[in-house]
Amino acid sequence: MAINLEIPKKHRALIDQAHQVAMNMLRPISRKYDIAEHEYPKELDILAAMIDGLEESGSSEGAGAAGVRRDGIADDATVKNGANMASVTSIAEMCWGDVGLMLSFPRQGLGNSAIASVANDEQLARFKGKWASMAITEPAFGSDSAAVSTTAVLDGDEYVINGEKIFVTSGERSDCVVVWATLDKSLGRAAIKSFVVEKGTPGLKVERLEEKLGIRASDTAVITFTDCRVPKENLMGSPEVNVEQGFAGAMATFDNTRPLVAAMAIGCAQASLDLTRDLLKEAGVVVDYDKPANLQSAAAARFLQLEADWEGARLLTLQAAWMADNRKPNSLEASMAKAKAGRVGTDVTLSCVELCSSIGYSEAELLEKWSRDSKILDIFEGTQQIQQLIVARRVLGLSSAELK
């Protein structure tokens, strides 16, 4: 089964629509909500209604948050370009408009991707239409998801959750939170499970919102759980602790969300490249694609290098999404895409600021904003260093205990 590197024809209409939205609705309000941090972008309600309408009509595969599900059997005779491919390609276009605003879309949170990936059919139906954020990181750890110390203790028909989560994207605006907690700290990572906790549940409190370098349109919250009781039916995946399996079930969420974050970096970087190409042309620097880089100006040669790196990241991301659509294990490819795109995103956006000199550094254009927004895409959902560690383990065939 081989991947075709062309954009699937059936997704081109969705991609074109996303680009039009990014250009005509997100770009014009991008600076406004970068300055007005924590103010909810009311303009997004119209777009959210449009997306809901497309999903309900069934006319747009991938209009909503997609997930990686392994409960189907791949048909080797059929190559699919499904919801995952639609999601990464359309998300890249939306982030060409604005990353923070894209992250602020109602019912399109990272928690929604987690639910789509690991929830059972009953849970999928019950949480349909909910806006879900995802709470993993705690004050005592960042990238080491196995260090979760938030606890979930079964008491009758409910789990009692206690702990604190930080850097929760859409933590204030969401309807519910996908919380990672441990059933028994002594059993290690195998006891880590994810729970859906709905807003309004006693014991759940949004403590504060963070002020940030970039994606300022997106609210990022600190949330505490104090004797927070949730129905046991809100645990996603198996309630059993399987030491041999580890917490592969919970970690499967990242097989979906990492390509999505990679797509965000690709979209933001593409915006920088497109604008920089135009600004260089205005300054008399024309990028000639028919001439070797070493025969062009230093600025043009650097630009060509940035575009080549960007293309590599884009293709890795499409590969990870394509594998998910075709029910192929993509943990390695998801981390490769996230590592490459995260690094390329920051390199491209900062280099474009440099290439455009004072115009790039000023607020006359959005280049400086894109360089700020892109940095988080190399950090959340697993830092650059963590992705490289995961890739090394997979390639070398070593466990987390063998390669730390």
DSSP one-letter code for 339: H
- Listed in order, strand segments (DSSP E) in 99-244 are 132-135, 151-155, 158-169, 176-182, 192-198, 204-209, 220-231, 235-236
Q: What are phi and psi of 32, to 5 degrees?
A: -55, -50
381 is catalytic: yes
- Beta-carbon contacts of 366 under 8 Å, excluding residues fewer than 6 positions away, are 27, 30, 31, 271, 275
Which structure tokens are listed for 54? Answer: 């497309």
Which structure tokens are listed for 106? Answer: 């109602």
CB 326 within 8 A of CB 72: no
DSSP letter string, 358-371: HHHHSTTSSHHHHH
**3-state class (DSSP) for residue 26:** helix
Alpha helices in 283-356 (DSSP H): 298-325, 331-355
Which of these is catalytic: 198, 210, 381, 402? Answer: 381
- Amino acid found at 199: K
Closest CA to 86 of 266, 313, 260: 260
Which structure tokens are listed for 250? Answer: 């919970």
Distance separating alpha carbons of residues 370 and 269, to the nearest angstrom:
8
Closest CA to 82 of 325, 317, 327: 325
The residue with tokens 């070493």 is 294
Angle at 359 between CA 358 and CA 363, to 5 degrees: 105
- Chain centre to alpha carbon of residue 342: 11
Distance separating alpha carbons of residues 264 and 248, to the nearest angstrom:
25
Distance separating alpha carbons of residues 283 and 268, to the nearest angstrom:
23
Distance separating alpha carbons of residues 12 and 340, to the nearest angstrom:
25
Residues designated as active site: 381
